[in-house]
Amino acid sequence: MAQKKLWKDLNLSNAFLFSAALEDPETCKLVLELILEESVGTVNVKAERSILFSSDFRCVRLDIFASNEFNIGYNMEMQNKDEKNLPKRSRYHQAEMDLASLKPGQDFNDLKPSVILFICTFDPFQKGKYRYTFQQRCLEEDFPLGDETKRVFLSTKGKNAEEISKELLHFLEYVENSTDSYVENVQDPIITKLHEKISILKKSRELEGRYMMFEELLQRELKEGFSRGHAEGLEQGIAEGIEQGIEQGIEQGSQRLLNLISKMSENGEADLIPRLSKDEVFYKKMLEKYNL
């Protein structure tokens, strides 16, 4: 299992750091404009949707929800593992945004325009592109459906640098190399500004504490998930079964942790969440309480 990275050494590809960074409206606006290569105006970030960043631990989401002055909604998420589900994951996020944007009784024409963005440290479609943009179109006559939705998948592993702006290229390189040396070498004022904001976050003891707490809990769940998956794989009696069992066990373990934090928050026990990482007996007791 990979060793946990220190808070000060994290790259922007870390989902926790990414979420914390983009809760700042100015940083969110900067990243959106880099990706979309257009002005997005004033941006409002829904901070309560981010993972373990709000003081009361109200949510365990790793993605960022934002909107701008033109009523366009944005959903951004960092992806470090190719689980082969991004197309349908983006469909789920689209449905979730639509439900949140339309009140009961409102006309469907009141649905806000929306953009779903995934930043991936792998190539999600294996076509060598840094950016893949999807919009609904008619196949027979090639005209837009006009539902005002867009889905953008970015890859740090692209090979078509000549087809994107140098600023976007620098950003995607910075995602996996968020270091002083890279910023000094690239000499890009936008990346310099972004790096300054990231550096300030890395000096926050409060954020570092939350990151460490979550990582401790996640590692515990990953270890248990690994053990459960290995046992299930052995029962199947084949090497492929062991591999699949371990992968499923780890995924179930991390999801169990997120479910526990979410249920505790909903039940008014957010103040007890930090205790999970310090008291294993209490942690198991809470798992039993919520039938996890």
| In the chain, where the domains are located | 7-201, 205-289
Q: What is the pTM assigned to this prediction?
A: 0.76
* Residue whose C-alpha is closest to residue 11's, from 150, 177, 134: 177
Two structure tokens written together for 60: 């365990």
List, for residues 189-248, the tens digit of each pLDDT value: 999 999 999 999 999 998 888 788 777 766 666 566 555 554 555 555 555 555 555 455
DSSP code string of 169-222: HHHHHHHH---HHHHHHH--HHHHHHHHHHHHHTT-HHHHHHHHHHHHHHHHHH
Q: Amino acid letter at 277? A: S
List, for residues 71-119, the tens digit of each pLDDT value: 899 999 999 889 899 999 899 889 988 988 888 889 999 999 999 999 9
* Angle value at C-alpha 166, between 163 and 171, nearest 5 degrees: 110
